[in-house]
Amino acid sequence: MRLFASLLCALLLSVAPAFSQTQLAATPPMGWNSWNHFAAHVTDADVRSAADALVSTGMRDAGYVYVNVDDTWQGKRDAQGVLHPNERFPDMKALGDYIHSKGLKFGIYSGPGEKTCGGYAGSLGHEEQDAKMYASWGVDFLKYDLCSFQDNMHKAQAEHPNDPNAANNLMIAAYRKMGDALKATGRPIVYSLCQYGVDQPWKWGPGLGANMWRTTDDIDDSYGRMIAIGFSQAGLSKYAGPGHWNDPDMLEIGNGKMTADEYKTHMSLWVILAAPLLAGNDLSTMTEADKSLLMNKDAIAIDQDSLGKQGDRLYESGDLDVWTKPLSGGRVAVGLFNRSWSVREVSVDLGQIGFPNGGSVRDVWEKKDLGHRSGVVVETLPKHGAALLIVGK
Ligand code: GLA
């Protein structure tokens, strides 16, 4: 009996991963991803220089540790079904080793379909084989992008016209399949679903081991698109928490098409949302302004707060918007936003956010303690501007 018990115990230990979904992403993952800047042209050298820059700029030490190669690294599958990288990526294991040697983590990209969005090989029918290969390369993060699998979903729906869930069930099964394959490798690999918010992934993502899921279609480097995504996140806060995060897509800060105030809005909103912070710019050409947004300690601490609560909208009034995020120690982060084309005053009543007797207020972007304040705090914001405050007892 005792022998049986210890055998059973040994068996369980050998199959159960030595890490939990929560530990894998106790706070929203932070790092860099190649897509927003390099898109389909990314090379091994670009990724190595991003890794170098994460270290030299201080971003790694500020928390940005994942170095994620997005779409277009893939070459062809051989007769055994093994997927090889293309000529721009001579040796993925060596790339992973290089990234790890810098104290960083290695991320990769695939999808459940036959093809990725860029038309490169996806993992359909090769899920376990690919997962094992990623683990052998030392991969720490997988972004799994729906793309051509939507064709399979349309087909399933056409074949089962009376089942309204046919397409979505097929999609969920495909995401579960890769989630199980990753777990079976025994390597802790953050699992990031990219399926643009189809069928409310915040409801089923956590159940299949996902650590984050995109909530919307793609961001681009424009104020209009960024705020359309950011402010549409209202109401989703209850679905995020340690180990499982809503992902409103990667950052565009530093890509050059928004103003400094617009990028400030971007960062303020993403940290209030407890969003994964994946920089999407060319780190080797960052300006001081980009660095001060991406590496502001208080802003990062809001995003990474140990309570793991996503923020949500407090109120919206025309082009003015105020959001709050509960923080550890009874503190609250407040994001004040002016979406209009002129200077406007935006206010928050401290009584309304849990401080009837007022509280200490810190201005995150000004890096200034404003002292004890009570009642209504008013911020004067430029067009498309934002302020970020931390209120404590
Ligand atoms: C989709 C994703 C993007 C990026 C591209 C790559 O559009 O949403 O984030 O990964 O595919 O092809």
The pLDDT tens digits of the residues spanning 314-330 come to 999 999 999 999 999 99
Residue 251 to residue 294: CA distance in whole angstroms: 9
Q: Which atom of ligand 1 is nearest to the CA of 218?
A: 8
Amino acid 368 reads: K
Note the pLDDT tens digit of each residue in 241-250. Answer: 999 999 999 9
Encoded tokens for 300: 């990062």
349 is catalytic: no
Q: Is 388 in the pocket of ligand 1 (CB under 6 A)?
A: no
218 is catalytic: yes
Domains recognised in the chain with CATH numbers: 18-303 (3.20.20.70), 312-392 (2.60.40.1180)
Q: Which atom of ligand 1 is nearest to the CA of 143?
A: 10
Residue 42 to residue 118: CA distance in whole angstroms: 12
How many other CB atoms sit within 10 Å of the CB of residue 164? Answer: 10
Cα–Cα distances in angstroms (integers) from residue 150 to residues 31, 95, 169, 177, in the given order: 28, 31, 12, 16
What is the mean pLDDT of the segment spanning 238-260? 98
Residue 145 to residue 175: CA distance in whole angstroms: 10
State the pLDDT confidence band at 14, using cuts at 50, 70 and 90: very low
Residue pair 67/104 in contact (Cβ under 8 Å)? The answer is yes
Quote the pTM value: 0.95
Residue pair 213/195 in contact (Cβ under 8 Å)? The answer is yes
Distance 262 CA to ligand 1 centre (A): 23
Q: Are strands 359-363 and 30-33 parallel, antiparallel or unpaired?
A: unpaired
Note the pLDDT tens digit of each residue in 57-83. Answer: 999 999 999 999 999 999 999 999 999
With a CB cutoff of 8 Å and minimum separation 6, the contacts of 243 are 20, 21, 22, 23, 24, 25, 26, 206, 211
Encoded tokens for 113: 């379909």
What is the mean pLDDT of the segment spanning 133-143? 98
DSSP of 280-303: -S-GGG--HHHHHHHT-HHHHHHH
Q: Is 35 in the pocket of ligand 1 (CB under 6 A)?
A: yes
Q: Which of 44, 46, 145, 321 does the annotation list as catalytic? A: 145
Q: Are strands 83-85 and 74-77 parallel, antiparallel or unpaired?
A: antiparallel
